[in-house]
């Protein structure tokens, strides 16, 4: 039955493609993959293969053919899962299951089973005495080939799950064992043929052929691997580019559209352009790993200063240039300082914004956090604006002093006001 | 603490931020400039803004869009100042600087470079400065300021934008374990003060007033910082670059 069913199944049908299972497999994952594909219990498929093995080893041949031609996939049938789920199991979440895979206990069982079946097979099938002698070498070759193929599967799996680096010695050992088995099997055949005497010269000839082939095909192989890895690199780059393009497309084109619509509103255009510029810069120049999307609350001085400046800039439409030197985490005092700085920025944007960009400078040096907010407006006179006096006194000077810092407002010689805020960081933070 | 002196006399005229009386330089002389930038729109814009030779004193004698072109044009025209973009096809501004280094050290007619970039990445900026550029300004700079900067560079001074000052302070800041023999590479207290004021948006003239020194002294401090930045590529900068995974 399997051979009848298998023939149409090997052809790739778009919705359900046959894969060998990399999960919970005993040998090559053929039975499991097939079971998942057919919606049958694994045991049945395995039994069918074992049964077919009795029919002159057809099962083994079939199994080998499947192993060779069907690609390895993620997923397969889980005994407890309904088979219909299995084909959708190839989604990326399958990876997590792979990593948590248990050691190959089933492999040992499979090996034992194979030995038993082989023994039964040898006992039952009556081969000619000459052919029977070749059985052991054939088994050896088969086992070796199985080992090496299995290894190739593992290498492929390791690429998906990014494991296997620490298992390199095991990889080598397994490949070596496979090669050894195959060599032993092939040599055994020669020995049985009674050409032991020529074994040396045959090996030499074989070696010469291998060297010759390597010399001929080597360059091609090397170039092919190089091409392949280059192609993979290009693919990764293309993916990155696509990500950037997506971002640029979304935000920049959107902004450009808005700018076109608001073309006669200079203030709005400027605001949009600056907001977009800031967004793009954050996205492009933020160091890797810090996360491109914004966190909910700023946790460091640099973050807080930039965030505040951006918000004030958006709200009041005055460009704010920020320079930050050093960084440290926020604590109570510094947090209050950030609030005061924000207040100062708002004041600068409101009353000094027409003179040009507001300049904000923040520096963390040792235990001291210093922030200066400077505008180039008409200058700020505390006495002439009584209503704002309280605001400045309370929200800037008062706030700083309550937390043990200092605030200074002063007129800059060539026009404009500068607010200087200084605060000591709390002891425990480092 | 607050000393709000009467500021009614001073108005918001400081917006243009004339770094050095522009009349002196723009009046009698003129500077030959080469524009190196791979964006044609930007070159056109700058050209339009500073290219009126009789008004600004700046004459754009050549343009280039990539590294090879830049080297060819600069060698052929021998300008006094090159406005150099940081990001260029063919190796970037650093590569142009490297290949033009003989021209920079020419005793009679040195070619001087002013980096002009939209880049926000400190490593880009510090990279061109260490490559020999005499200053760095962002592309948001106004035409007047750009002309001033060009003249200042042409006269051999350094041009530090607030942002560049911030980068430099950052680069020299992380000196936890200073090596004993590297005193030369360290910024002096005064240089640090000057840099801080630049970072806070002060013009040279304002810094001079603030620190009770002359504008010339401010300029010499800034030039000293630039020299140290170009020379001191060992300890701080290496460490700084390593910390940012640049090397």
| DSSP letters spanning A216-270 | HHHHHHHHHHHHHHHHHHHHHHHHHHHHHHHHIIIIIIHHHHHHHHTTT-HHHHH
Closest CB from B11, B201, B203 relative to A378: B11
Tens digit of each residue's pLDDT (9 = 90 or more) over A299-352: 888 888 888 888 888 888 788 888 888 888 888 888 888 888 888 888 888 877
A361 with B6: Cβ contact below 8 A: no
pLDDT score, position B177: 45
Whether the CA torsion A164, A165, A168, A169 is positive or negative: it is negative
Burial profile A326-352: b = 16 or more Cβ within 10 angstroms, e = fewer: bbbebbebbebbbbbbbbbbbbbbebb
Distance of residue B74 Cα from the nearest chain A Cα, in angstroms: 31
Q: List the single residue in A287, A323, A355 with the smallest CB-CB distance to B199.
A: A323
A404 vs B: CB within 8 A:
no
For chain A, 430 residues long, give each residue's pLDDT as a single digit of tens.
444 444 444 444 445 667 777 666 677 778 888 887 887 888 888 888 878 877 777 777 888 788 777 777 655 444 444 433 333 333 343 333 333 344 456 667 777 777 776 676 666 655 555 566 677 777 777 777 777 777 777 666 665 555 445 556 777 787 888 888 888 887 777 777 766 667 778 788 889 999 999 888 888 888 888 889 899 999 988 888 887 777 777 778 888 888 888 888 887 888 888 888 888 877 776 655 444 445 567 788 888 888 888 888 888 878 888 888 888 888 888 888 888 888 888 888 887 767 778 889 998 887 889 999 988 877 666 555 555 555 676 778 888 888 888 888 887 766 778 888 988 887 654 4
Asked whether the beta carbons of residue A379 and residue B10 sit closer than 8 angstroms, the reply is yes
CA distance A29 to chain B (A): 44
Count CB neighbours of B234 within 10 A. 11
How far are the Cα atoms of A12, A92, B233 from residue A86, in angstroms, in the given order? Answer: 16, 13, 59
**CB interface of A with B, residues 280-309, below 8 Å:** 281, 284-285, 287
Residue in B13, B170, B201 closest to A374 by CB: B201
Provide the token pair at A31.
Answer: 């039975």
CB contact under 8 A, B4 and A382: yes
Which residue on chain A is closest to B170 by alpha carbon?
Answer: A325
Instruction: Give pairs for B141-145: CB < 8 Å, separation 24+.
Output: B141/B116, B142/B16, B143/B49, B143/B50, B143/B56, B144/B16, B144/B18, B144/B22, B145/B16, B145/B17, B145/B19
Query: Alpha carbon of B240 to those of A290, A370, B126, B133, B172: distances in Å?
Result: 18, 22, 11, 20, 8
- Quote the CA–CA distance of A269 and A248 in Å, as a whole number: 18
**What distance in Å separates the CA atoms of residue A187 and residue A196, rounded to the nearest whole number?**
9
Q: What 3-state class would DSSP assign to B108? A: coil
Contacts of B10 in chain A (CB under 8 A): 378-379, 411, 413-416
Residues 6+ apart with CB under 8 A from A74: A19, A22, A23, A89, A90, A94, A95, A98, A160
Q: List Cα–Cα distances, A205 to A30, A138, A185, in angstroms.
A: 37, 22, 18
The CA-based angle B233-B120-A277, given to 5 degrees, is: 180
Task: Tell me how far apart the alpha carbons of residues A67 and B214 are, in angstroms, rounded to a whole number.
Answer: 84
A361 touches chain B (CB under 8 A): yes
Tell me the residue length of chain A: 430
Query: How far apart, in whole angstroms, are the C-alpha atoms of residue A79 and residue A40?
Result: 10
- Cβ-Cβ contacts under 8 Å for B89 (sequence gap 6 or more): B38, B65, B66, B67
- How many angstroms separate the CA of residue A414 from the nearest CA in chain B? 6
Alpha-carbon distance of A233 to A59, in angstroms, equals 41
CA distance A10 to chain B (A): 50
B40: helix, strand or coil: helix
Radius of gyration of the CA atoms of chain A, in A: 37
pLDDT of residue B232: 58
Q: Which of A398, A412, A417 to mutate to test the interface with B (most CBs of B within 10 A)?
A: A412
Shortest CA distance from B122: residue in chain A: A285
Inform me whether the C-beta atom of residue A185 falls under 8 Å from chain B C-beta atoms.
Answer: no
Report field, pTM of the whole predicted structure over 0.80: no
Helix intervals (H) in A286-369:
301-316, 332-352
Q: How many CB contacts within 8 angstroms connect chain A with chain B?
A: 114
Q: Which residues of B touch A365 (CB under 8 A)?
A: 173
Pairing state of beta strands B112-117 and B81-84? Answer: parallel
Residue of B nearest to A353 (CA): B12
Stronger pLDDT, B206 or B139, i.e. the higher one:
B206
Contact B196/A at CB under 8 A: yes
Distance, in Å, from the CA atom of A425 to the CA atom of A326, rounded to the nearest integer, reads 13
Residues of B in contact with A281 (CB under 8 A): 120
DSSP secondary-structure letter at B64?
A: E
pLDDT band at residue B158, thresholds of 50, 70 and 90?
confident
CA–CA gap between residue A49 and residue A27 (Å, rounded): 12
B141 touches A: beta carbon within 8 Å: no
**A164-180 b/e (C-beta count within 10 Å ≥ 16 → b):** eeeeeeeeeebbeebee
Check CB contact under 8 Å for A410 and B165. no
Say yes or no for a CB contact (<8 Å) between B14 and A414.
yes
Which residue has 């800037």 as its token pair? A396
Which helix (H) or strand (E) segment holds residue B31: the answer is strand B31-36
Tokens of B37: 């930038």
pLDDT tens track for B38-57:
888 888 888 888 877 777 88
In whole angstroms, how large is the CA radius of gyration of chain B? Answer: 18
Q: Tell me whether residues B1 and A377 touch, CB distance under 8 A.
A: no
Q: How many CB atoms lie within 10 A of CB B163?
A: 21
- Average pLDDT estimate for B127-143: 84
Q: Does B11 touch chain A (CB under 8 A)?
A: yes
Side-chain half-sphere exposure of B23, counting CA atoms within 13 A: 0
Cα–Cα distance between A14 and A12 in angstroms, integer? 6
What DSSP string describes A30-88? HHHHHHHHHT--HHHHHHHHHHHHHTTTHHHHHHHHHHHHSPEES----TTS-HHHHGG
Closest chain A residue to B142, measured at CA: A356
Q: Is B60 helix (H, G, I), strand (E, B) or coil?
A: strand
Q: Are B150 and B141 in contact (CB under 8 A)?
A: no
Largest CA distance in chain B: 59
Selected residue with higher pLDDT from A296 and B161: B161
Inter-helix orientation angle A2-10/A30-38, to 10°: 80
B2 lies within 8 A of chain A by CB: yes
Closest alpha carbon within chain B to A352:
B12
The SS3 of residue B34 is: strand
Q: Does A107 reach chain B within 8 Å, measured CB to CB?
A: no
A365 part of contact set with chain B, CB < 8 Å: yes
Within an 8 Å CB–CB cutoff, is residue A391 touching chain B?
no
Nearest CB to A326 within list B8, B173, B205: B173
Query: Nearest 5°: phi and psi at A378?
Result: -70, -5
């Amino acid at each position: 039955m399997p051979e009848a069913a298998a023939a149409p199944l090997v052809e790739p049908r778009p919705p359900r493609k046959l894969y060998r299972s990399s999960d919970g497999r005993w040998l090559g994952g053929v039975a499991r993959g097939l079971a998942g594909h057919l919606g049958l219990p694994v045991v049945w498929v395995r039994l069918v293969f074992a049964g077919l093995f009795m029919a002159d080893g057809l099962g083994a041949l079939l199994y080998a053919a499947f192993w060779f031609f069907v690609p390895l996939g993620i997923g397969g049938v889980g005994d407890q899962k309904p088979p219909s789920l299995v084909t959708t199991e190839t989604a990326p979440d399958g990876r997590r299951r792979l990593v948590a895979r248990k050691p190959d206990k089933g492999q040992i069982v499979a090996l034992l089973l194979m030995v038993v079946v082989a023994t039964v097979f040898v006992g039952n099938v009556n081969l000619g005495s000459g052919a029977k002698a070749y059985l052991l070498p054939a088994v050896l070759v088969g086992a070796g080939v199985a080992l090496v193929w299995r290894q190739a599967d593992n290498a492929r799996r390791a690429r998906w799950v990014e494991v296997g680096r620490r298992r390199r010695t095991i990889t080598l050992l397994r490949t070596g064992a496979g090669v050894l088995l195959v060599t032993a099997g092939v040599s055994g055949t020669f020995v049985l043929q009674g050409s032991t005497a020529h074994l040396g010269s045959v090996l030499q000839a074989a070696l010469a052929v291998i060297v010759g082939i390597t010399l001929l095909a080597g360059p091609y192989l090397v170039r092919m691997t190089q091409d392949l890895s280059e192609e993979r690199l290009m693919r990764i780059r293309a993916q990155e580019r696509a990500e950037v393009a997506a971002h640029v497309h979304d935000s920049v084109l959107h902004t450009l559209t808005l700018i076109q619509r608001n073309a006669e509103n200079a203030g709005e255009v400027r605001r949009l352009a600056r907001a977009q510029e800031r967004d793009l810069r954050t996205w492009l120049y933020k160091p890797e790993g810090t996360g491109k999307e914004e966190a909910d609350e700023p946790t460091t001085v640099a973050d807080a200063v930039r965030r505040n400046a951006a918000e004030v800039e958006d709200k009041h439409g005055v460009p704010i240039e920020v320079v930050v030197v050093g960084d440290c985490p926020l604590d109570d005092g510094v947090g209050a300082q950030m609030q005061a700085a924000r207040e100062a920025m708002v004041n600068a944007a409101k009353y000094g914004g027409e003179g040009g960009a507001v300049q904000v400078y923040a520096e963390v040096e040792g235990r001291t956090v210093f922030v200066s907010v400077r505008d180039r407006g008409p200058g700020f006179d505390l006495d002439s604006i009584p209503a704002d006096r309280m605001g400045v006194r309370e929200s800037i000077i008062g706030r700083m002093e309550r937390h043990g810092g200092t605030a200074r407002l002063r007129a800059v010689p060539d026009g404009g006001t500068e607010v200087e805020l200084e605060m000591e960081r709390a002891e425990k933070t480092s | 603490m607050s000393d709000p002196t009467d500021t009614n006399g001073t108005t918001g005229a400081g917006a243009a931020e004339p770094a050095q009386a522009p009349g002196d330089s723009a009046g009698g002389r003129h500077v030959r400039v080469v524009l190196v930038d791979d964006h044609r729109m930007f070159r056109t814009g700058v050209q339009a803004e500073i290219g009126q030779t009789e008004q600004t004193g700046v004459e754009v004698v050549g343009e280039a869009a990539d590294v090879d072109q830049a080297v060819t044009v600069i060698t052929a025209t021998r300008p006094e100042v090159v406005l150099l973009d940081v990001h260029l096809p063919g190796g970037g501004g650093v590569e142009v600087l490297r290949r033009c280094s003989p021209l920079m050290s020419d005793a009679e007619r040195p070619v001087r470079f002013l980096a002009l970039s939209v880049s926000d990445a400190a490593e880009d900026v510090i990279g061109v400065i260490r490559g020999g550029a005499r200053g760095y300004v962002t592309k948001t700079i106004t035409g007047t300021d750009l002309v001033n900067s060009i003249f200042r560079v042409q006269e051999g001074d350094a041009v530090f934008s607030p942002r560049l000052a911030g980068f430099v302070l950052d680069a020299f800041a992380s000196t936890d374990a200073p090596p004993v023999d590297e005193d030369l590479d360290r910024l002096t207290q005064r240089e640090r003060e000057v840099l801080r004021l630049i970072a806070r948006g002060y013009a040279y003239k304002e810094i001079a007033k603030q620190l009770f020194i002359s504008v010339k002294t401010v300029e010499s401090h800034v030039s000293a910082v630039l020299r140290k930045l170009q020379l001191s590529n060992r300890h701080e900068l290496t460490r700084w670059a390593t910390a940012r995974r640049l090397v």
